[in-house]
Amino acid sequence: MSSIETVSATPSDPMDLIEAFYEHRGGSCRGETYLVLDTGNYITYAFRPESRAIEWLVDRLAGDDWKSRLGVLAIEIVASIPELLPFVPILRSETLSVPVEDPFDVAVIGDRITMLGLDRGRVYTIATDDQAKLQREIERRKQLPDSINTAPIVEDDPEYPYVIKEYLDGRELADPITEWDLLLDALEQLTALYETDRHRVETATAVRTLEAELTAGTETTEPVRSGLALLDELELPPVLHRGSIHGDLHAGNVFINDAVYLLDWEDIREDYVIDDFFRPFVIHQYNTPLHRLFVEMMDGRGTGGRIMAEYAQTIGPSAYGDSNTYSGLPLFYLLSLTADVGTHGSLRGPCRELLSDVVSAYR
């Protein structure tokens, strides 16, 4: 088994990291059988072959892409006929050393490892490669305003690092459009974060900087050129506010329990406040084309117009200083995301597609 020092120094197999975490915490452990599901995406799941863990995982995967739905089918088949496990290539069996009294039920393995103890109501999170990121999240979570609903921290160790939180039994936001009222609730909570250290940027300066970034790089495609030209014709607020934002707000990070909760704070950073508003819709582009919604936001009509107006009325003063709607804000955001080549540029794919369709449809 890897030592704690080895875990800190180099990336390891996720199963080794799980065992090392339990070794670090001490207590009596024993070997338990887990099934490991590789969906073909960036997430892998390890789960106990028992009804509650299977039900949780099936519910989690039910609305995802075809690879995840294939995973659901595989889980259900193997749960009914365990002898078929060797013949299901996306499932394998692993024996892990876990606590006798408190084995985890499901582990979600991606850029971090989150283990769910469903019976005890606990969520255990450890780092994989980027330990500093989890350390920053632990520190920032403790600094969040009390008015923001988050899963309470039960225990943490920034040095290891790990964090243990209460498990929230509920559901993720299904759709940022049809459940816009719940997303707006989350955004209203975030205004307390925005108010902590926001500052104003002259919009004219922001647009000049954006134009320079886009025209100096490799992103000067026809949609970008057309988008910049269109932006000149649209309305923007005199100033935009920058400050601490959630940074990765999307349907999967908005959780519905007895209230609306915000999860996963590892990407909290300084950026334009409007990022938290538009990002959930750009991410939803993976599931359904949303260019018409963005055009409606710009035109001030239909569902998009209503969403834009309600955002402006409620969050506008925190985001850009007033409650008016501005037709250029959606396009400014898409162009900004296209220019982002840094850590937060992973949405450039769906953003390019959205930008091209929005510019074509608006014309």
Report pLDDT digits (tens) over 208-246: 999 998 988 666 788 999 999 999 999 999 999 999 999
The CA-atom distances, in angstroms, between 178 and each of 174, 197, 212 are 8, 32, 37
Whether residues 196 and 336 fall in one domain: yes
127 and 155 belong to one structural domain? yes
- 77 versus 173: the higher-pLDDT residue is 173
User: Does residue 10 register a pLDDT over 50?
Assistant: no
Do 160 and 179 lie in one domain? The reply is: no
181: CB partners within 8 A, 6+ apart: none
- Which of 142, 169, 196 is where one domain is finished? 169
Together in a domain, 269 and 299: yes
- 22/161 same-domain check: yes
Contact yes or no for 251/284 (Cβ under 8 A): yes
User: How confident is the model at residue 70, as a pLDDT?
Assistant: 74
- Which of 169, 203, 231 is the endpoint of a domain? 169
Mean pLDDT across the chain: 89
Cα 314 from Cα 324, distance rounded (Å): 10
The pLDDT > 70 percentage for the chain reads 92
Say if residue 241 is in the same domain as residue 164: no
In CATH, what number is assigned to the domain containing residue 219?
3.90.1200
Between CA 150 and CA 165 the distance in angstroms is 9
Q: What is the pLDDT of residue 347?
A: 79
Strand, helix or coil at 221?
Answer: coil
224 and 338: one domain?
A: yes
Is 2's pLDDT higher than 50? no
256 in the same domain as 200: yes
User: What are the angstrom distances between the C-alpha of 328 and each of 230, 284, 318, 325?
Assistant: 9, 21, 18, 9
Q: Do 123 and 162 belong to one domain?
A: yes
Q: Would the CA dihedral through 43, 44, 47, 51 be positive or negative?
A: positive
| DSSP structural state of residue 3 | -
Helices (H), the chain: 4-9, 14-25, 51-61, 66-80, 131-142, 180-197, 203-216, 222-233, 275-284, 291-299, 302-314, 316-320, 329-339, 348-362
Task: Note the Cα 196 to chain centre separation in Å.
Answer: 22
Tell me how long the chain is: 363
Q: Domains in the chain: how many in total?
A: 2
Quickly tell me which residue has 């632990």 as its tokens: 138
| 324/154 Cα distance (integer angstroms) | 42
Q: What is the DSSP letter of 116?
A: E
Enclosing domain of residue 90? 4-169
Residues 200 and 88 in one domain: no
Are 53 and 122 part of one and the same domain?
yes
Same-domain status, 224 and 352: yes
Last residue of a domain, one of 169, 197, 232: 169
Q: Are 256 and 183 in contact (CB under 8 A)?
A: no
More confident residue, 81 or 153: 153
Grouping H, G, I as helix, E, B as strand and the rest as coil, residue 341 is coil
Residue 1 pLDDT level (bands cut at 50, 70, 90): very low
83, with CB counted inside 10 A (0-12, 13-18, 19+), is: exposed
Bridge partners, 261 (sequence order): 255
